[in-house]
Amino acid sequence: MPFPFALPTTSSVLLSDCFSSVTHPSLPLQATTKRSVLKDTLKKHKRLPAQSRSSHLSIVQDALTNYIPYLLALNTASSFRDVGTERVDVDVVKPLEVEWRTPLTAALPGREAPRPKLTGIHNEIAFTFSTLAHVHVLLARSQLGFLHGSPSLSQDQRTTALATAMKHLLEAHSILKYLLSVPSVSASKESPIDVQPSTISALASLALAEATLTVVSKDDPYAAAVADDRDETNRDWMFKAPTIPKVRAHLFARICLAAAEHASQACGLLTGNTAGKVDEDLSKYANDLRRTARAKSIRFLAIDTELSGNTGEGLAWLRGAKKELGLAVELEDGKRKGFRGLKQSWQEKREDRRIEKGGEWGMDAGRLEEARVVEMLEAKWDRENSAVNVQTVPPFEPLLARLPTGREYHTPQAYEPPTLDAYILTQLRAPPDPEDLAFRGDEEDSGGEERFRRGDPPGAFPGAGLDYERSATSSSYY
């Protein structure tokens, strides 16, 4: 399940005060207007309830897509390069200074993420494109959340949702890779941890790992069987058992190992960053995704082995998968026992409640869900082995030592950012009307973030907490 990124917010800035153009004098003014719309959209998105944010993501995506062509035009022209086939002269009047909220930077519990003042257009480009990548990840998350929230979907509906999620994750990966190709961004060493090259590379690896696992989820009947088992209205288990072709089981194992390699690379980049400390939830998620991908690959190897008639060795593979998940809980008659089993069951129920309420679920990267699948297979095979096959279960450590190599499934395409049309560039040659002012946005520069976060006094009108505060010069309540 993709990570639930929090979209950043930004301050207001007049690009027309920082850039001027002799050939296209309306360009800085129009860029300011597009950016102000983006600023308002991000602030409104932050104040929405968690259940309403997924439907607002398309509006944020449109605001980013409309602003990027003007931002790239200013960056290209200020570097004495042509915009498309047209020459655009842009002079830098003063360095661009703007504030961006940094939600991936570690902060004290209960504190808002910092919003440092950043200098240079390269920071503006980095935050704008990384925000667009986060939007695509959140769109993929909403598609996968639709699957988990509605377990009784048809196969066509599941395939469509998974294909859409995969498309968004690959788009996020391409955007982040494009951002690393921007020289001013990749060479920046003083930027916040959110847009450091190592963090951008880690996020790109995470997106690719999640897209790779989505390929397997599309044709994984065992995960669907566990989801159907939790659906009280489902009765398919009475007449149909999940099956999987033997050849594809080994192929899926190698694809999952490739995803684990990408997640491991992301985990190393996030934990080894010396420029600052990344949010702990993101680092933990990357580690859980690596463990989930490895356990899933081992589970497919177990399926491949069991289909060959080696049930004992298949059980050994499953125990190795539980070891990778960090949930080595013994089963007794198909049920967990001990304190660790009770704790795992409590965590799964809490995760189910989060899915029902639409909260920040999936922070374990599917680790608990994979544990359910492994335990379902282990209980089933253990009963069969005890009653029919009676094969010895070997130790799993030698099996884990001979895991196959990973196999890449995707060939990510290069990202092509939106550019200004020739017709729009022609219109920007006209000088702006002296009476026209740049649109600063409807939201306050602070976005009301401090005001909306502070609790109101009892009985006060919502949002009127500031009216009840004492004045700074008063030393009395009266």
- What is the pTM assigned to this prediction? 0.85
Sign of the Cα pseudo-torsion (337, 338, 341, 346, in order): positive
pLDDT of residue 375: 85
d(CA 378, CA 311): 10
d(CA 244, CA 446): 55
**Domains of the chain, first to last:** 1-195+417-478 (no CATH), 219-410 (1.25.40.280)
Does residue 239 register a pLDDT over 50?
no
The tens digit of pLDDT for each residue in 144-185 reads 877 765 656 677 888 888 899 999 999 999 999 999 999 888
Does residue 139 register a pLDDT over 70?
yes
Lowest mean pLDDT among 41-55, 124-138, 375-389: 375-389
Q: What percent of the chain has pLDDT over 90?
A: 41
Does residue 346 register a pLDDT over 80?
no
Nearest one of 9, 24, 3 to 422, comparing CA atoms = 24
Helix 121-149 × helix 197-218 angle, to 10°: 20
Does residue 73 register a pLDDT over 70?
yes
**H-type alpha helices, 48-182:** 53-78, 121-149, 155-181
